[in-house]
Chain A
Amino acid sequence: MEWASFLCENGPFHSGLVSSELIIVLVQLNINKISISLFQKYNESLTPENKSFIKEVVEDKYGPQAIIGGVTTYQQSPLKNEPMEKGTWFPGVRRTGVIARKIGIYPMWMNDGTKVFSTLLQVVDNHVIRYIPPGEFEPTRKSKKKIRYPNRFGCLLVGAESEDPQTFTKEYCGLFTSSGLMPKKVLGRFFVSPEAAIQPGTPLLASHFKVGQVVDIRGKTIDRGFQGVVKRWGFKGMPASHGVTKTHRRPGNIGSGGTKARVMPGTKMPGHMGNRYRILKGVEILRINTQYNVLWVKGLAVAGGTNSICYIYDTILPFRKSTEPPPFPTFYPEDLEEPLPDDIYSEKLHRFSSPTITFQDTK
């Protein structure tokens, strides 16, 4: 008897893990007794003994599976090679960024009672995979100017979210053999000064940033599909009544006529909207949780929907850069005598564990 199950709402299926509550879509068609399952790994027809053997090998190489900081990963062994020298900070040096996942938005309140929306960004299992010094590294986006200055930044390849090597191809896993790391789902390049180079295999944590620091966040905007001119470009449209015929959300005039008797290139028209990388600059960090590696940033305009990947950098805005040296080249927990507290708050932010806000009579 033919039957079809229901399709449940699901985010765009990309490399990110959504949540354990995802309902897997299973559409069973009884035509010629073929069953098609969507969103499943390729069926390699392994015997149960082979499957358990592969699992043993993976755990041998990368350590046992564990939940670290709220994320299922593998407890990986320490650095493969000898540690390299750490550089020293000076104003103007560019250090690495971090790959995070936007996990949600919720309100927080300042000490004067004003409400502020804060976006939560979780730094999921980041490791440095490779460093390419400036001499060897050629950025793919080259400037077309007459004078091209030699590239002064090295490239740091950072990966986020370890995953079982069985889900990737052999070629992709080859990227991680030199560092000895578990293959990562998400990769990102950060252009850093040579002084800020980091040993491959080093984990990057949320404490790479400080509370009160200003950052830039790059994310891919929500895919809105083919959209009209009113939503895409903010055109005003035409009135809903008063005799307007069949023209309520149309663009209206698209040319100037006369000598330029054509539609100019770049004219705003309906088309695909969203699914583009956009950078939000000048975002303040309000709070850091070191246990789950979560950053609370002020505002809710971070590009992307919930559970989407974003890249966090130190800000390039000149008047909002911090004058004090940040953890350089990154935060190493072994450098501190005492571990950092679980929750670090900005001074202006009201902690929920503090008593109720009251205002005093200034007289």
Chain B
Amino acid sequence: MTLISDKVVLFTVHKDCRCSSSATKPLQDVSESRDQTTLDARKGVVPPQYRFVYPEFLPDPKIIWRNNVREKLERADMLSRRCHVDIPEFYVGSILAVTTSDPHALGKTTRFVGICIDRSGCGLRANFILRNVIDHLGTEILYEMYNPTIQKIEVLRLEKRLDDKLLYLRDALPEYCTFPFNMEPEYLPEGTPVPVNPIKVQLKPRPWLERWERQNLQGVQPFKLPKRFFEKAKAVATPWEKFDLMKTYRSTIAEEEQSEIFSEVYSELHQLEFTRKKMKRKKMFIKPKKTA
């Protein structure tokens, strides 16, 4: 997302942009002239980054599929599930370890470590894909976040990348997707912003699964392709799309609605965050290694 002037905000519009609103400036804080009802007061209290930390609480923007009652019931179910499994904050590019109950595995649990290459879905259908290269075989697993067989989701490394989706890692050299299963979790000091990894990945030679040169990817090394690929990419490109305000409006949830939704679920989420921070502090304290 780049800010080129005070009035216009430009960013690529794709399917999972529900959290970006079309407002050019953030909403003003609840002013004194308004009635200080509990909901208004909570709207001012809800942190603005909730839309990025909990993007699955926002419904699909397509109006034909929207219904207030169903969304409320879905959110209530999501919160009850979150009371039993801690779903941490993570982004595409973070490295996660997921433990699930599996009736066919030894010890009835399976643990998988991988980098999150994609995160999609709204409500209870929210899912993410983890990728890892195991024994020279690229493996991806799609986990449904609210599946009750998931026992634990740990974030081993919390970071963001330059792109929203990392599907190009399927065509990248295997070293960029290989993570050991016994990787230790890396803790960030409290209050630090989520680090952005500016790594530029090297892709394997063509053929690729998609035409990566046409997709404005930031996290890939410059392509060494013949000129005709870039000419074709330019011919096929749609540079006017980022100025299409109506497309942005249709693919996002309005900021006023977002604040309403998050103020509804704020108290429970805040409580869960608080317990998570306490557990994290305990873990970090126990961390000291044995001497001699």
Binding site for B on A (CB under 8 A): 6, 8-11, 18-23, 70-71, 103-104, 106-109, 112-113, 115, 120, 122, 289, 292, 294, 305-307, 350-361
Contacts and interface: CB of A to CB of B under 8 A. Distances in A.
B84 A356 contact: yes
28 contacts: A6-B246, A8-B63, A9-B62, A9-B64, A10-B63, A11-B63, A18-B63, A19-B63, A21-B257, A23-B63, A70-B68, A103-B67, A106-B70, A106-B123, A107-B144, A112-B103, A122-B70, A289-B73, A292-B73, A307-B67, A350-B148, A351-B80, A352-B78, A357-B148, A358-B101, A359-B101, A359-B103, A359-B108
A19 B64 CA distance: 9
B78 to A, nearest CB: 8
A358 B77 contact: no
A122 B64 contact: no
Given A9-B62, A357-B101, A359-B102, A103 B146 contact: no
Contacts of A351: 80
Majority secondary structure of chain A interface residues (helix, strand, loop or mixed): loop
Contacts, number: 106
Contact of A104 (B70, B77, B149): B70
A113 B103 contact: yes
B128 to A, nearest CB: 15
B284 interface: no
Given A9-B63, A352-B81, A103 B70 contact: yes
Majority secondary structure of chain B interface residues (helix, strand, loop or mixed): helix
Nearest to B151: A356
Among the interface residues A104, A113, A355, A357, which one has the most CB atoms of the partner chain B within 10 A?
A: A104
B173 to A, nearest CB: 35
A109 B68 contact: no
B255 interface: no
Contacts of A350: 148
A11 B64 contact: yes
B77 A352 contact: yes
Contacts of A294: 69, 73
Nearest to A7: B246
B116 interface: no
A361 B108 contact: yes
Interface in B137-153: 144, 146-151
Interface in B103-130: 103, 108, 123-125
Interface residues of B, number: 36
> What 7 A-B pairs come out closest when comparing CB atoms?
A104-B70, A352-B80, A70-B69, A353-B80, A103-B70, A103-B67, A352-B81
Given A294-B73, A356-B84, 15 more contacts: A70-B68, A106-B74, A106-B124, A107-B124, A107-B144, A115-B144, A307-B64, A356-B150, A357-B149, A358-B108, A358-B151, A359-B101, A359-B103, A359-B108, A360-B108
A359 B108 CA distance: 6
Interface string B82-97: 0111000000000000
A21 B80 contact: no
A352 B146 contact: yes
A157 B257 CA distance: 39
Interface in B182-209: none
B15 interface: no
A19 B108 contact: no
B108 A115 contact: no
Interface in B37-95: 62-70, 72-74, 77-78, 80-81, 83-85
A122 B62 CA distance: 20
Contact of A306 (B65, B85, B103, B149): B65
B211 interface: no
Contacts of A21: 63, 66, 257
A355 B73 contact: no
A59 to B, nearest CB: 24
